Amino acid sequence: MTVALTDRPHALAAGSAPIRVMVVDDAVVVRSLIARWISEEPGLEVVASLRSGREAVDQIEKVCPDVIILDIEMPDIDGLTALPLLLARKPDVAVIIASTLTRRNAEIGLKALASGALDCMAKPDTTSAMMDPAAFRRQLIEKIKHLGARWKKSQARTASPLPAVKPAAPRTSLAITDKAPPRAITHSAPEEIKLRPFSIATPRVLVIGASTGGPPALLALMSHLEGVADRAPILITQHIPPTFTTILAEHIGRASGRPTREAQDGEPILAGTIYIAPGGKHMRVTRRDGAAVIALDDGPPVNFCKPAVDPLFTSAAKIWNSWVLGVVLTGMGSDGTLGASAIVGAGGSIIAQDEATSVVWGMPGSAATAGLCSAVLPLHEIASRIVHVFAGERT
């Protein structure tokens, strides 16, 4: 899954214990390389480097990792079989699936996410991709730091009150004029979240952005949007590589009962259809011959992501103005905040997933603390609020 990265590496608290990482991969070259990368990174420690799921299950209670990098195809016990056994022995461990990019592995990877893994990455193969692994290394280290820190701090955060959420006074304009540039949000200090009123315009288009933890969240959300999915187009950008988006579209189609597909360049955007940004390309909205159509962009990453949420949100605001309702789900970094600002500035509204139900509260937290949201909700309440807003309700 392509991850939204912050401009600077995730900082670990000074003097804190290192994040303990177990690497499980039957390919010795890959296993050794990943272990070396982790060992070279301050604040991270490799506590086990193993070749099979069986070894991981046998060793997990002894080495007590915070994060596991888990391959799918391995001898003895594969990754999908090992996952529930690992979580049974250490429920608070963060598992990142790292597999080669095949349709079979993409299907298994999404099943693993539904079974408790927190993220999924396309592992470079042993040919040309492994010769230049800088992007994969950067993404992997960032995921380990964010997810490891999240789980290490979970007890402390559970005992601490969440940031207060207070509605802002009504405003005559929804444009942002005095906000500092958006930044990635950490959990080091609670911040007050001020909500703005929902737009007076009834939305006609739903756009959604997600990253780490997004696939299960999307499936849960899309299975409860019957009325909205019938009468409005839904456009989704999920940070995820090619092949995974094909499988994700199939899963969302089954969950929603609506036509769902990877978007194609130039196709018209129709109500009752769900469009997924294809892995490796940005999805934007443009207008041709008076009709709104999909525009796929093979340009450079945005916020270190491709696809990225900001291009979708920003372009949707230009085409549909106040008719857009945006939703920012769980994910690292701040991708989606600039796009959310564009939607709000055009008269639309934003809903964000709350911290308690997010795997990582980077993306939704960034939008929320920037003052862009009209609601910050647990995942299980978002669908109902979307349905009510599309019905013209504002509270």
For the cut 70, the answer to whether the pLDDT of residue 354 exceeds it is yes
Q: Give the model confidence (pLDDT) of 201-218 as tens digits.
A: 999 999 999 999 999 999
For the cut 90, the answer to whether the pLDDT of residue 314 exceeds it is yes
Element (H, E) at 75: none
Structural domain including 78 reads 19-156
Distance between CA atoms of residues 70 and 73, nearest Å: 9
For the cut 90, the answer to whether the pLDDT of residue 331 exceeds it is yes
Tell me: do 227 and 356 sit in the same domain. Answer: yes
**Residue 304: its pLDDT value, please?**
87
200, part of any domain: yes
For the cut 50, the answer to whether the pLDDT of residue 381 exceeds it is yes
For the cut 50, the answer to whether the pLDDT of residue 155 exceeds it is no
CATH number of the domain to which 369 belongs: 3.40.50.180
For the cut 70, the answer to whether the pLDDT of residue 171 exceeds it is no
37, part of any domain: yes
**Residue 179: its pLDDT value, please?**
33
Tell me: do 53 and 151 sit in the same domain. Answer: yes
Domain boundary among 156, 185, 204: 156
**Number of residues that make up the chain:** 395
**Residue 213: its pLDDT value, please?**
93
Tell me: do 125 and 172 sit in the same domain. Answer: no
Which residues are designated catalytic? 211, 239, 335
**Residue 165: its pLDDT value, please?**
45
Distance between CA atoms of residues 102 and 93, nearest Å: 26
Residue 192: burial class (beta carbons within 10 Å; 0-12, 13-18, 19+): exposed
Q: Label residue 298 by pLDDT band (50, 70, 90).
A: very high
For the cut 50, the answer to whether the pLDDT of residue 180 exceeds it is no
CATH number of the domain to which 50 belongs: 3.40.50.2300
Total tally of structural domains belonging to the chain: 2
Tell me: do 206 and 241 sit in the same domain. Answer: yes
Ranking 15-29, 166-180, 230-244 by mean pLDDT, the lowest is 166-180
For the cut 80, the answer to whether the pLDDT of residue 139 exceeds it is yes
9, part of any domain: no
**Residue 130: its pLDDT value, please?**
42
pLDDT top residue among 250 and 134: 250
Tokens 């990225």 belong to which residue?
308
Tell me: do 137 and 186 sit in the same domain. Answer: no
**Residue 119: its pLDDT value, please?**
92
**Residue 191: its pLDDT value, please?**
62
**Residue 156: its pLDDT value, please?**
47
For the cut 50, the answer to whether the pLDDT of residue 5 exceeds it is no
Q: What is the mean pLDDT of residues 263-276?
A: 97
Domain boundary among 138, 156, 174: 156
Ranking 83-97, 119-133, 223-237, 381-395 by mean pLDDT, the lowest is 119-133
Q: What is the mean pLDDT of residues 214-226?
A: 95
Distance between CA atoms of residues 42 and 59, nearest Å: 24
pTM: 0.84
Q: Which residues contact 394 (CB under 8 A, 6 or more apart)?
A: 197, 198, 200
Tokens 């756009």 belong to which residue?
207
Tell me: do 123 and 179 sit in the same domain. Answer: no
How many CB atoms sit inside 10 A of residue 373's CB?
25
Tell me: do 91 and 204 sit in the same domain. Answer: no
Percent of the chain surpassing pLDDT 70: 84
For the cut 70, the answer to whether the pLDDT of residue 175 exceeds it is no
**Residue 154: its pLDDT value, please?**
59
Q: What is the mean pLDDT of residues 28-34?
A: 93
Q: Label residue 129 by pLDDT band (50, 70, 90).
A: very low
DSSP 82: H
